[in-house]
Amino acid sequence: MTNPYDIGLDQNTANYQPLTPLTFLERAGVVSPKQTAIIHGELRRDYIGLYERCRQLASVLKSAGLGRGDTVSVMLLNTPAMIEAHYGVPMSGAVLHSLNTRLDATTIAFQLDHTEAKILIADIELLPRIREALALAKGSPCLIVYDDPEFVGTSVPYDEIEYEDFIAAGDTNFAWQMPADEWDAISINYTSGTTGDPKGVVYHHRGAYLLAQGNALTASMKKRSVYLWTLPMFHCNGWCFPWTISAISGTHVCLRDVRAEEIWKAILNHRVSHMCGAPIVMSMVASGKPETAQLDYEVEFFTAAAPPPEAVLATMKDAGFNVTHLYGLTETYGPAVVNDWDPSWDALDNAEQAALKARQGVRYLALEGLDVVDPDSMVPVQRDGASIGEVVMRGNVVMKGYFKNVVSTERAFSGGWFHSGDLGVVHPDGYVQLKDRSKDIIISGGENISSIEVEDSLHKHPAVATVAVVAMPHERWGETPCAYIELVDGEKVTSAELRDWCRKNLASFKVPTEFRFEPIPKTSTGKIQKYALRQRLTNKG
Q: Report yes or no on 495 lying in a domain.
A: yes
Q: Report yes or no on 276 lying in a domain.
A: no
Secondary structure of 150-169 as H, E, C letters: CCCCCCCCCCCCEHHHHHHC
Please name the helix (run of DSSP H) or strand (run of DSSP E) that holds residue 4, with its range, or none. Answer: none
Please name the helix (run of DSSP H) or strand (run of DSSP E) that holds residue 443, with its range, or none. Answer: strand 441-444
Q: Report yes or no on 68 lying in a domain.
A: yes
- Beta-carbon-side half-sphere exposure of residue 79 (alpha carbons within 13 Å): 20
Q: 40: burial class by Cβ within 10 Å (0-12, 13-18, 19+)?
A: buried
Q: Are the CB atoms for 134 and 110 separated by under 8 Å?
A: no
Per DSSP bridges, beta strands 362-363 and 119-123 are unpaired
Q: Report yes or no on 492 lying in a domain.
A: yes
**pLDDT score for 424:** 87
Nearest-angstrom CA–CA distance, 237 and 44: 23
Neighbours of 374 (CB within 10 A): 13
Q: Report yes or no on 529 lying in a domain.
A: yes
Q: Are the CB atoms for 325 and 433 separated by under 8 Å?
A: no
Task: Report the CATH number at residue 94.
Answer: 3.40.50.980
- Owning domain of residue 466: 441-540
Residue finishing a domain among 127, 142, 172: 172
Q: Report yes or no on 464 lying in a domain.
A: yes
**pLDDT score for 528:** 78
Nearest-angstrom CA–CA distance, 309 and 358: 8
Sequence-distant (≥ 6) Cβ neighbours of residue 350 within 8 angstroms: 310, 313, 314
**pLDDT score for 311:** 75
Q: Are the CB atoms for 128 and 105 separated by under 8 Å?
A: no
Q: In what order do the strands lie in the sheet with 321-329?
A: 43-46, 36-40, 251-253, 226-228, 274-277, 299-303, 321-329, 334-338, 362-363
The count of domains in the chain is 2
Rounded mean pLDDT of the chain? Answer: 92
Q: Report yes or no on 166 lying in a domain.
A: yes
Sequence-distant (≥ 6) Cβ neighbours of residue 154 within 8 angstroms: none
Residue finishing a domain among 157, 172, 187: 172
Task: Report the CATH number at residue 506.
Answer: 3.30.300.30
Residue finishing a domain among 172, 188, 211: 172
Tens digit of pLDDT for each residue in 340-391?
999 999 999 988 988 898 889 999 999 999 999 998 899 999 999 988 889 9
Residues of the chain with pLDDT under 70: 192-198, 305-307, 436-440, 523-527, 540-541
Q: Report yes or no on 20 lying in a domain.
A: no
237 φ/ψ angles, rounded to the nearest 5 degrees = 50, 45
**At residue 538, what is the residue type?**
T
